[in-house]
Structure 1
Amino acid sequence: MSTALRILLADDDLLMRELLQTVFAAYGHEVEVFDDGAEAWAAFNEAPAPMVVLDWEMPRMDGLEVCRRIRDHDAGEDTYLLVITARSKAADLEDVLKAGADDYLSKPVTPSDIAARLRIAEKRIEVATARRRAEEELRKARYLAGVGEISLALQHEINNPLAALLTTAEIVKQGMVPAEEIPAALATIETQAKRIVEVLKRLREVQTDKSVEYAHGQRMVDLSGRKP
């Protein structure tokens, strides 16, 4: 059996609600039941669900309006929407799909009809979950790659001026610089410090896709300040 789903079910027909709820529960899914579309939409808006089953014609808010609102919701892109309707004209069914529904069932429905749609929904939700997981892993990989490129760039751009700064400072500290050359040594320290500051400034302004090949296929963020 697939992973248990949280399903929102809205239908103003008591017998239809009981039939749908019974089938969904038999497959191990958690069902929240409502008798109008407005309540179903409020529940989704508060806590989005992977599957929503809606009657078309309901008081306060019909099923198609709920579909449209869910599709406009930040978390509604992958929600599986199933509309149940007594209408069967081609134009009516086209309206259902235009509202964002994934599928529909024409009344009267049987338990086998519901079970078949449920299997389709389970597979679609499983695929969408796997895709989101892969996208998240890719995002993490890109982030870590970016951290590596920035680290290599800082090492490459800061090592030389930092080494010059520390070496000059140590020579001055040890009294190895003649008095008349101390102003020049201090100027060198200042110059190298400014070089480091400039690199850090460019780091704040860097574009994430602005990288160059460094060595052996390694890439680093370009902090050189050179124009392309």
Structure 2
Amino acid sequence: MVERGALRVLVVDDDPIMAGMLRAALDAEGFTDVAVAGSGAAALDSSHAPDVVLLDHQLPDTTGIDLLPRLLARPDPPSVIMVTGEGGAELAANALRLGAEDYLVKGPKLLAALPGIVERARRNRLLRSTRTEVERELVRAERLAAIGEMTVTLHHELNNPLMAAMAEVELLLQGSPTMEEMREALTLVRTALFRMRDIVKQARDLQRADSADYLSGLPMIDLSARAAPVAVARGRAVLVAANRELSRAVALLLRHAGWTVDKARTISEAQHEAARLDTTLVVISVPGTFVDPLQGFHAPPDRPYTLVALVPGSPAPARAAGADLVLSLPFDPASFTSEVLAAMRRRGE
């Protein structure tokens, strides 16, 4: 997890006083790795390899809008927060269209708002990184499962012709067969070898396969050396989130932690699905407003599942409406699973 102190921030501003104020405000909130570049060229040449760039628009050799695409074209692009003057709404909108993470307006509230904006950028970067890592782990797990199933299949399919061929060879070696007996035995061996060849060819050409049980509990592959721990089966989670990226990230985190995930399209559908006996967790993304903070979702006190609400604002209304855990967006993916599990333990006490 990238902590605040490890987040590399680059302030691109030709005003040393403003740059110093931004650096001090960040340092006071734990963002201590902050560098300053006074021009566009210095920003591009910086060896700081920033995670987040605070980009002023008016620079001595270029503009922030012109510099933005060049920063984002890097192999590991930073999150860029555009810093505009008063009345720069059109500039900010243009920067967001070009890929900026967020923007700040120079004014009395700039220094107060700065740490929160940078923290949001940090969490968004962590969320993207975690999603990529979880996807990679899921792909790896699927590949290992496929290798295991293929191992069992080849063992089962090759064993019969292999044993038949070995039996014929043993009979030839132990006796004094006639020429005709040798010919018959070799014909059977050749048939078995052809069968094994065909099985290997089928495995090579396989594009899609359905799984079937062979022997219960049969170990398929030795994962003791470098295997990741198998996730505990935690039951069924119901998830509803209108934002596709958020829905995808939460679903990946839940599956990685051991839940099976069913996505609901609406709050009412989530309410209906939550009533199933195998549901242990419900995660809903809601506005969290003071009026109907859970958007009509009714959380009975004696429910068997844990209710998690993801809200963009204050967690208080959703918590008062009955949510066991309320996470403000963007949430911290590194602590998401542990917070959900802690909420489940508290509910079970």
TM bucket (normalised to shorter chain) is: 0.7 to 0.9
**Residue in 2 aligned with 1:155?**
155
**1:97 Cα offset (Å):** 0.6
Deviates more, 1:167-176 or 1:142-151: 167-176
Q: In structure 1, the residue corresponding to 2:34 is in which secondary structure?
A: strand
Q: Pairwise mapping of residues 41-52 of structure 1 onto structure 2 (< 5 A)? A: 41-43=44-46, 49-52=50-53
Do 2:86 and 2:107's aligned partners in 1 also have CA atoms closer than 8 Å? Answer: no
Aligned residue type for 2:96: L
Give, in angstroms, the shift of residue 176 of structure 1: 6.1
Alignment partners' CA distance in 2, 1:39 and 1:177: 88
Q: Give the drift of 1:96.
A: 0.9
Q: Structure 1 stretches (4+) deviating beyond 6 angstroms?
A: none
Number of positions where the alignment pairs a residue of Structure 1 with one of Structure 2: 212
For 2:6, what is the secondary structure of its paired residue? Answer: coil
Task: Say which of 37, 40, 55 aligns to 1:37.
Answer: 40
Give the whole-Å Cα distance in 1 for the aligned partners of 2:39 and 2:160.
Answer: 70
Give the CA deviation at 1:24: 2.6
Structure 1 residues 22-56: Cα deviation after superposition (integer angstroms, max 9, x where no partner): 2233314312332233443455xx88543222122
Rounded Cα–Cα distance in structure 2 between residues aligned with 1:62 and 1:89: 14
Is the Cα contact below 8 Å between 1:37 and 1:54 reproduced in 2? no
Superposed counterparts of 1:186-201, under 5 Å: 186-201=186-201
Tell me how far apart the structure 2 counterparts of residues 18 and 217 of structure 1 sit (CA, whole Å): 68
Which of 12, 15, 27 is equivalent to 2:14? 12
**TM-score normalised over the length of structure 2:** 0.53
Letter in 2 for 1:212: D
- By how many angstroms is 1:196 displaced? 2.1
**Alpha-carbon shift at residue 93 of structure 1 (Å):** 1.9
- Provide closer, same or farther for how the CA distance between residues 165 and 3 of structure 1 changes in structure 2, counting only shifts above 3 A: farther
Write the distance in 2 (CA, Å) between the matches of 1:62 and 1:203: 58
Measure the CA separation in 2 of the matches of 1:103 and 1:144: 40
Structure showing greater radius of gyration is: 1
Q: Distance in 1 between matches of 2:66 and 2:206?
A: 44
Per the alignment, in what secondary structure is the counterpart of residue 212 of structure 1? coil
Matches within 5 A, 1:1-228: 2=4, 4-26=6-28, 27-43=30-46, 49-76=50-77, 79-86=78-85, 88-108=87-107, 110-175=110-175, 177-207=177-207, 210-215=208-213
For 1:211 and 1:49, the matched residues in 2 are separated by 45
Aligned CA distance change for structure 1 residues 163 and 85 (closer, same or farther; 3 Å):
same
Q: Which amino acid aligns with 1:93?
A: A
**What is the match of residue 225 of structure 1?**
none
1:183-222 CA distances to partner (integer Å, 9 max, x unpaired)? 2211222232233233333433333xx112322799xxxx
Note if contact 2:12-2:40 (Cα within 8 Å) is conserved in structure 1. Answer: yes
Structure 2 residue aligned with 1:223: none
Question: Partners in 2 of 1:36 and 1:125 — Cα distance?
Answer: 25
Distance 1:62 1:177 in 2: 92
SS of residue paired to 1:9: strand
Corresponding residue SS for 1:100:
coil
The letter of the residue matching 2:210 is V
Tell me how large the CA RMSD over aligned residues is: 3.0
Cα pair 2:84 2:91 within 8 Å, conserved: no
The answer to whether the 8 A contact 1:8-1:32 is kept is: yes
User: What is the rounded CA distance, in whole Å, between the counterparts of 2:61 and 2:215 in structure 1?
Assistant: 61
SS in 2 for 1:32: strand
- Specify whether residues 65 and 213 from structure 1 end up closer, same or farther in structure 2 by C-alpha distance, changes over 3 A only: same
2:210 is paired with a residue of what secondary structure?
strand
Measure, in 2, the Cα distance between the counterparts of 1:93 and 1:14.
23
Q: Deviations over 1:147-176 (max 9, x none)?
A: 212212212321222122222222222226
Q: Is the 8 A contact 2:11 2:36 kept in 1?
A: yes
Q: Which has the higher contact order (CA 8 A, sep 6+)?
A: 1
Task: Rate the CA distance shift 1:169–1:115 in 2: closer, same or farther, 3 A.
Answer: same
Point out where structure 2 has 5 or more consecutive residues left out of the alignment: 217-349
Greater share of residues in helix? 1
Answer yes or no: is the 8 Å Cα contact 1:149–1:211 preserved in 2: no
User: What is the percent sequence identity of the aligned residues?
Assistant: 28
